[in-house]
Copies of this chain bind each other. A is one copy, B any other.
Amino acid sequence: MSRSIPAEQAPDKMRRLIREGKWSAPTAGVCNGYTQANLVILPKAYAYDFLLFSQRNPKPCPLLEVLGSGDPEVREVAAQADIRTDLPKYRIYRNGELAGEADDIREYWRDDLVSFLIGCSFSFEKALLENDIPVRQIEEGCNVPMYRTTIPCRPAGMFHGPLVVSMRPMSATQAIRAIQVTSRFPSVHGAPVYIGDPEKIGIHDLAHPDFGDRVTIHHGEIPVFWACGVTPQAAVMASKPELAITHAPGHMFVTDKKDMAYSVL
C-alpha cells in the first residue's frame, strides 16, 4: 500500500481533510480499523420502498444508519459529520442515468432527501487478512471483481434487480475459515452467499466481471462469492428515481465505528 495513504489517520480528521477539499481520492486503506460505508440518497417519496428493499435483502444491503428526511447530519456512526461534504466524491443520477460527479453536494440538497449508509466489504477484508486469508484484489492492487447473478433480490415496491456478488479466490481450507470469519459480521455482508461453480449462479466467465477488475485465480483455488454493496445501487438505477445521489465507486464515507464493533461474536 502506498506510503501516501493515511492509514493511521483518525476518522474525524480524515473527514475534515475531505470536507476542506484536501482529499478527493478513493478511501481504500485510510483510517485502518474504522468502518467505511456505501451511500445512497433518495427523495422521501422513494424511501419506504428502499428501506423495505434493504430489510428484505439484508446481505447485499446491510443498513448501518438512515438519516432523517432533509437531515444532512450523521448521528449514529459518526460525530459532527455532514453527509453533503464528507465523502471525497459523489455521483448524481437523474432518472437512473449518471448526470455528473461532484465533491460536494450542498447545491443538490433538498429538504426531502433521505440518506442511507450501507455496510461495505472493506471491514470483513481486514478480518480476512488478519486470518492470513488472501484478498487477491488487494495483492494485485485493483478493484474486486463483481458479477451480476441470476439470483433475484426480493423486490420491494418499485425496487427490484439481481443480486450482485463480489468474488475472492482462495483454497478450500481458506474458504472454510473465511466463512467462519465473515459470519461474525452480518452488518457488513456477512457470510458468503455462494461457493464454487459460477455457472450455477449465472456467471459464465470469471475473467470478465460486470464491475471492477479481473483477478488471478491460482491452480486449485475456488471462487467464493459475497453479496455486494453494488446491489442496492444497481436496484436504484434500474428503477429510475428522478434523483439519486451515491458515493463514487471507492470513495466511501469513513465512520467513527471500529470494524470490530460490527462483529456479533
Contact = CB atoms under 8 A, between A and B. Distances in A.
A126 interface: no
A187 B63 CA distance: 14
Given A184-B264, A190-B264, A265-B265, A66 B76 contact: no
Interface stretch (A51-59, A90-98, A241-249): A51-59
Given A186-B264, A264-B190, A55 B47 contact: no
A137 interface: no
Interface in A26-74: 47-48, 51-52, 54-56, 63, 65-66
A257 interface: no
B55 A52 contact: no
Interface residues of A, number: 20
Given A183-B264, A265-B184, A265-B265, A52 B76 contact: no
Contacts of A265: 180, 183-184, 264-265
Interface in A223-239: none
Contacts of A52: 51, 66
Which 10 A-B residue pairs are closest in the complex by CB-CB distance? A183-B265, A48-B48, A51-B51, A183-B264, A186-B264, A55-B63, A55-B66, A52-B66, A186-B186, A264-B264
17 contacts: A47-B48, A48-B51, A51-B52, A52-B66, A54-B55, A55-B55, A55-B63, A56-B66, A56-B76, A76-B154, A180-B265, A183-B265, A186-B186, A186-B264, A190-B264, A191-B264, A264-B265
Interface of A: 47-48, 51-52, 54-56, 63, 65-66, 76, 154, 180, 183-184, 186, 190-191, 264-265
